[in-house]
Amino acid sequence: MIIGVPKEIKTREYRVGLVPAGVKAFTGAGHKVFIERGAGEGAGIADEEYVKAGGKLLKKADDIWQRAEMIIKVKEPIEPEYARIQNGQIIYTYFHLAAVPELAKVLVEKKVAAVAYETIQPDDGSLPLLKPMSEVAGKMSIQVGASSLEKAHGGKGILLGGVPGVKPARVAIIGGGVVGTCAAKVAVGMGAQVTILDISVNQLTYLDDIFQGKVTTLYSDTYNIANAVREADLVVGGVLIPGAKAPKLVSKELIGEMTKGSVVVDVAVDQGGCIETCKPTTHDNPTYEVSGVIHYCVANMPGAVPRTSTFALTNTTRPYGRKIADLGIVEAVKQDKALARGLNTYGGHVTYEAVARDLGYDYVNILDAVSGKAPKAGAAKVTRLRAAK
């Protein structure tokens, strides 16, 4: 198979879809790998390293997209890349389609096999390709939150961990999964007063155990969320429903009840966000203010630490990418149920149920789609496509 690795063009996105070791793994198995010049520079990877690993450099992104059977990226294609997408192409990357209906429309029209990192899911319910970036974003959420609390950045001017004789900041973390756990590790380490909310009592028990009483655990309901948010200096939103839009757990009215200069960091913003007042921002302009509360809502937070993020991500994406290249997308999803759950669109159909539901498409079972049992592309009715407002 011909693999293409273009340079990421999202604002301040410095990660890259393959590292030299990955290139060597693909080329060693008989595949061809084309890398756009400079694609790895942001992550500290020189072009020469790719060449030594067996890759071939191309100067233009257009050439990468036109020649590749499978594109390996980090972030979803953005508008300037839509025209580069080839009909029937395999694209292997993060998509978060529930939050980008305009991209879903392009993928359906071009009959793209869209394999989403965030929905590849083994039977145990884990999300192995989302986990490393959730770990990075969770830890970063406290770093950027602590910085945003500084007066110079619009915050109320408090130190997260306080000092002897002065109380520490209060941090409320909504969601006790990978993001929430990693956020709590950093927040506790900095000396903050931490509360974690989750709907799983088993997870709360686990968190209480590993933090040995250093965090307060609360069942996540509207009453507890409201109290925790009102009292918090820093709120971290880390709630995920695989493939679907994040639920809105913090209302605009509740944000208005927080003290001025408080901070919210919504790690779920690339899935629509779990805080009503959040909207995607970039590393160039990461924050804005609503009702006196500072909002940090960068949709690609791990892009700020691209060296760490790239190697952590590609450690997990490479094996599934190899399976697609070795077997072809049809046979790969037939043999691997985890990989099959990652296929969000195929042959003009939406093949992930949560995405179809959130965007108003008819859902087509993955195995029906790849086996040719689904209605012909174009025959499946698109019931509703929610415009991005």
CA 72, CA 35: separation in Å to the nearest integer? Answer: 10
Residue 198 a catalytic site member: no
Characterize the bridge pairing of strands 32-36 and 70-72. Answer: unpaired
Task: Report phi then psi at 4, rounded to 5.
Answer: -120, 135
What's the pTM? Answer: 0.86
- What residue ranges define each of the domains in the chain, with the CATH number in brackets? 2-111+306-370 (3.40.50.720), 131-304 (3.40.50.720)
Per-residue pLDDT at 389 exceeds 50: no
Can you tell me the mean pLDDT for 225-246? 91
pLDDT of amino acid 377: 58
Residue 28: both structure tokens together: 């060693």
CA–CA gap between residue 132 and residue 135 (Å, rounded)? 5
Q: What is the C-alpha R_g of the chain? A: 21
Contact 215, 184 (CB under 8 A): yes
The model's pLDDT over 140-175, given as tens digits with 9 standing for 90+, comes to: 999 999 999 999 999 999 999 999 999 999 999 999
336 an active-site residue? no
Query: 3-state DSSP call for residue 315?
Result: helix
Among 198, 233, 266, 270, the one annotated catalytic: 270
- Does 243 have pLDDT greater than 80? no
pLDDT tens, 305-333? 999 999 999 999 999 999 999 999 999 99
Spatial contact of 249 and 237, defined as CB atoms under 8 Å apart: yes
**pLDDT tens digits, one per residue of 178-223:** 999 999 999 999 999 999 999 999 999 999 999 999 999 999 999 9
Residues facing 349 on adjacent strands: 346
The H or E element containing residue 66 is: helix 61-67
The residue annotated as part of the active site, out of 31, 96, 295, 349, is: 96
